[in-house]
Amino acid sequence: DLLDSWRAAQDAMDHVRARRGPALVHAHTTRPYSHSLSDDERVYKTQAERDNEAGRDPLVRFREFCVNNGVATENELNALDSEVEDEIAAATAVAIKAPSPTSETVTRYIYSPDVDPCSEAFNVAAKPSGEPKTMVSAINQTLKDEMARNSQIVVFGQDVADTSHPETLLEVRGKGGVFKITESLQRTFGAERVFNSPLAEANIVGRALGMAIRGLKPVVEIQFFDYIWPATMQLRNEVTMLRYRSNNTYSCPMVIRVPIGGYLRGGSIYHSQSGESIFAHFPGLQIAYPSNAMDACGLLRTAIRCDDPVLFLEHKHLYRQTYNKAPYPGVDHMVPFGQSILRRSGSDVVIITWGALVQRSLVAAQQAEKLGIEVSVLDLRTITPYDWEGIAEAVAQTDRVVVAHEDQLTCGFGAELVARMADELFDSLDAPVKRVAALDCPVGYNPVFEEVVLPQAADIVRAIQDVVNY
């Protein structure tokens, strides 16, 4: 019954809004037809069950209510039915008359046709000023600048607000996330633009999807990469599919910020996971993975200003390091997606890497230099899209390659790169490409286990020696 359902829902909302706790509405519904054309409900429902459900059809009952209570006449409701039927018939006729698509259009509208984050429009040079900032401070400042620039940006997630009770802002310091990335955003921009969410990752991403469709620009946080898995259905089947399946009628540009990775000492199995390769399988999703404060600013600004969903991976170990600090690059600095950068030049071997392994690769390169081996270090910066041209150029200059990443070895993103190099760059290689990655094993709680499971600089040095001595 529509009115009973309305009253029950209103009572539940009043209960929750009065902060008396959660409420559950248990509604008994009907399904007036079989599940699909291949489903015949008569084989598992008796006629009595089907008759009972038909008698409880809420559309039929509400129609009777409207007529019996003078809300509308039969003629008015029939006219409404006809209007809807005509609309459906017209849309059906358009679809039937539409020409069959050509095969050349099959990949159209996976990404925005109008805004290309790989283009020169997103290549805006840094104008550094002030003291060097940590990655935490750099991301926080970038969020502030972008929120000041674009009033449609909303930020939410677990504990990202300064407080769940905005009326107490003058009395508390404020939280701003477990890593303080969003600290003071709520204080600056208000509780309507920065607020906490339930501990429900599918809810966070699903709500962001709806907001993005309606014109807002959600920049949401999943508290740890280890907890993103409940949201993968929303990401794979809804967020990344929307533009494609609607033929560019709808889009949902958003940024999903995710602290990722290990090297924490005690992060263990639920706070040390990597897995960027899994999300690289989602057509329609861009993935950025900065290794330092400057790139975090530039890539995040590109992510916010582009027109596609972006998974923005922030390595927890890099948040407050000193070696990757940088002065703030200004309010317009952007780094195009799909543009790698050479962190170190060498003529013998190139290490292709990203995230926290960039620093370990640089350390390994310095150690290899003492052995008489000159090593380049190429930081991809984005996973999808990735800079194939930059990779090909680096391989041509060295002829020997090591791919280093923190994700597990088996089916890690490095496997894709190595496969493509074998396919397209085989003639440039003087040795098999070596991969350095985590063991196919969870990260242990004990520091001894973590040291063994995750790739270290010494592992990279051994791989360098292997390809040189081949």
Q: In this model, does residue 79 exceed pLDDT 90?
A: yes
Residue that finishes a domain, picked among 306, 328, 350:
328
What residues contact 7, with CB distance under 8 A and at least 6 apart? none
Q: What is the CATH number of the domain that holds 355?
A: 3.40.50.920
Domain match, 315 and 360 both: no
Residue that finishes a domain, picked among 281, 305, 328:
328
Q: Range of 190's domain?
A: 120-328
For 23-43, b where at least 16 C-beta lie within 10 A, e where not — what string?
eeeeeeeeeeeeeeeeeeeee
Radius of gyration of the chain, Cα coordinates, nearest whole angstrom = 27
Domain match, 168 and 247 both: yes
- In terms of DSSP bridges, do strands 382-384 and 286-288 run parallel, antiparallel, or are they unpaired? antiparallel
Total of domains in the chain: 3
Domain match, 153 and 44 both: no
Domain match, 273 and 389 both: no
Domain match, 348 and 282 both: no
Tell me: the pLDDT tens digits for 269-309?
A: 999 999 999 999 999 999 999 999 999 999 999 999 999 99
Domain match, 362 and 416 both: yes
Domain match, 156 and 27 both: no
Domain match, 132 and 164 both: yes
pTM higher than 0.95 for the full model? no
Q: In this model, does residue 34 exceed pLDDT 90?
A: no
**114 in a domain, yes or no?**
no
Tell me: the pLDDT tens digits for 368-392?
A: 999 999 999 999 999 999 999 999 9
Residue that finishes a domain, picked among 328, 353, 374:
328
What residues contact 303, with CB distance under 8 A and at least 6 apart? 117, 255, 286, 288, 310, 312
Tell me: the pLDDT tens digits for 401-410?
A: 999 999 999 9
Most distant CA atoms of the chain, gap in Å: 93
Amino acid of residue 268 = S
Identify the CA nearest to 355 among candidates 287, 421, 308: 287
Confidence of residue 29 (pLDDT cuts 50, 70, 90): confident
Domain match, 279 and 150 both: yes
**84 in a domain, yes or no?**
no
Tell me: the pLDDT tens digits for 151-186?
A: 999 999 999 999 999 899 888 999 999 999 999 999
- In terms of DSSP bridges, do strands 341-344 and 326-328 run parallel, antiparallel, or are they unpaired? unpaired
**190 in a domain, yes or no?**
yes
What residues contact 181, with CB distance under 8 A and at least 6 apart? 136, 139, 140, 143, 160, 221, 257, 314
**80 in a domain, yes or no?**
no
What residues contact 470, with CB distance under 8 A and at least 6 apart? 400, 430, 431, 432
**463 in a domain, yes or no?**
yes
Domain match, 307 and 252 both: yes
| Cα–Cα distance, 405 to 255 (Å, whole number) | 23
| CA distance readout (Å), 181 to 55, 162, 185, 188 | 55, 11, 9, 14
| Cα–Cα distance, 117 to 335 (Å, whole number) | 9
**109 in a domain, yes or no?**
no
| CA distance readout (Å), 225 to 52, 91, 140, 340, 415 | 47, 43, 19, 23, 21
**96 in a domain, yes or no?**
no
**333 in a domain, yes or no?**
no
Of 32-46, 174-188, 321-335, 435-449, least confident by mean pLDDT is: 32-46
Domain match, 242 and 350 both: no
Q: Supply the mean pLDDT for the chain.
A: 96
Active site amino acids: 271
Share of the chain above pLDDT 70, in %: 100
Tell me: the pLDDT tens digits for 245-265?
A: 999 999 999 999 999 999 998
Domain match, 58 and 147 both: no
Q: What is the CATH number of the domain that holds 319?
A: 3.40.50.970
Query: According to the model, what pLDDT value does residue 265 have?
Result: 86
Q: Residue 357 has which token pair?
A: 């392994």
What residues contact 135, with CB distance under 8 A and at least 6 apart? 290, 292, 293, 296, 314, 318, 319, 320, 321, 324, 325
Provide the 3-class DSSP secondary structure of residue 1. Answer: coil
